Amino acid sequence: MLKGIHVPLVTPFDSAGEVAVDAIEKLGRHVLDNGADGLVALGTTGEVAVLDPEERSRVIEACVRVCAGRAVLTVGVTGNDTRSTARALRELPEGVHAALVTVPYFLRPGERGVVAHFEALAEEAPVPLVIYHVPYRTGQTLSIATLRRLAAHPRIVGMKYAVGGIDQDTVELLGEPIDGFDVVGGDDVLISPMLGLGATGGILASAHLKTEMFANLVYFWRTGDAEGARLSGHTLARLSAALFAEPNPAVLKGVLHAQGLIPTPDVRLPLLPASAEAVARAVAIHDDTW
């Protein structure tokens, strides 16, 4: 289900600070036209934490319209308590294909708690689950044994793996692929080595830009063109590093606005707008990338 490039859409705001639904649709169509395999609504990049429930629904509905009949739509469902996360999952509308569910953050319930959480959610969810494993944000590490146990669940179909590096666990996890379970990269700068090790794709904020090149990167690794993959991987990593120079998605929104793809570069507090220098640097690297 999670093969190729999936773009976690930013949530554009208009000049009055409201969610710009038209811009979501325009941007979603733009990245799909340029080779993305799917969209992710309400990711970290979509500033899910600062949207109220009604805004979240409007974002999901816009993405359902964009993806209908043409692409995979995954929706981020955040929460660190099992009951309210299960409720949010049950409320997902038709047209959503999978839910990206974060390992419970901040509480640090331990590995057994994490397994119990996901097993309970998998029973209730109307769509398959993709686990978002990002220990530097959640504060909860997971062993290989736990990852494999979760992967064996028939309703858990993949994992966005973003541990901030590539270590022995990464190599072990990708070294023995599990049938029906896709591991996708979620640390943008590391996507090329992750694909080289066997990740099936990526959920990458950076892929709003140079989407076709990101799609080609997946294709190069899949078809064994190591030279092409290495070259585009290094080039795209430079772009990603510039986009993540300040807290995501501030710089990315600055670049998308500079390109006329979203009406304002605005983010909501506690995020601050990107500095002019960071945006100018990312624009320069972007314009120099092919």
Which range, of 111-119, 202-210, 226-234, 273-281, touches ligand LZUJQKHR by CB under 6 A? 202-210
Using rule CB under 6 A, residue 186 touches ligand LZUJQKHR: yes
Cross-strand pairs, 203: 6
Using rule CB under 6 A, residue 9 touches ligand LZUJQKHR: no
| Residue number, 45 or 138, with CB nearest to ligand LZUJQKHR | 45
Distances from the Cα of 145 to the Cα of 2, 3, 141, 142, 151, angstroms:
22, 24, 12, 8, 10
**Alpha-helical segments (H) within the chain:** 21-33, 53-67, 82-90, 110-124, 135-138, 144-151, 168-175, 191-197, 211-223, 226-243, 250-258, 276-287
Amino acid 78 reads: T
Which range, of 11-19, 40-48, 176-184, 213-221, touches ligand LZUJQKHR by CB under 6 A? 40-48
Tell me the C-alpha distance between 240 and 142, whole Å. Answer: 26
| CB 189, min distance to ligand LZUJQKHR, A | 10
| CB 224, min distance to ligand LZUJQKHR, A | 26
* Residue set of the binding site for pyruvate: 45, 203
| CB 8, min distance to ligand LZUJQKHR, A | 3
- The widest CA-to-CA distance across the chain, in whole angstroms, is 50
Could you list the active site residues? Answer: 132, 160
Which residue ranges make up the site for ligand LZUJQKHR (CB under 6 A)? 8, 40, 43-45, 186, 188, 203-205, 248
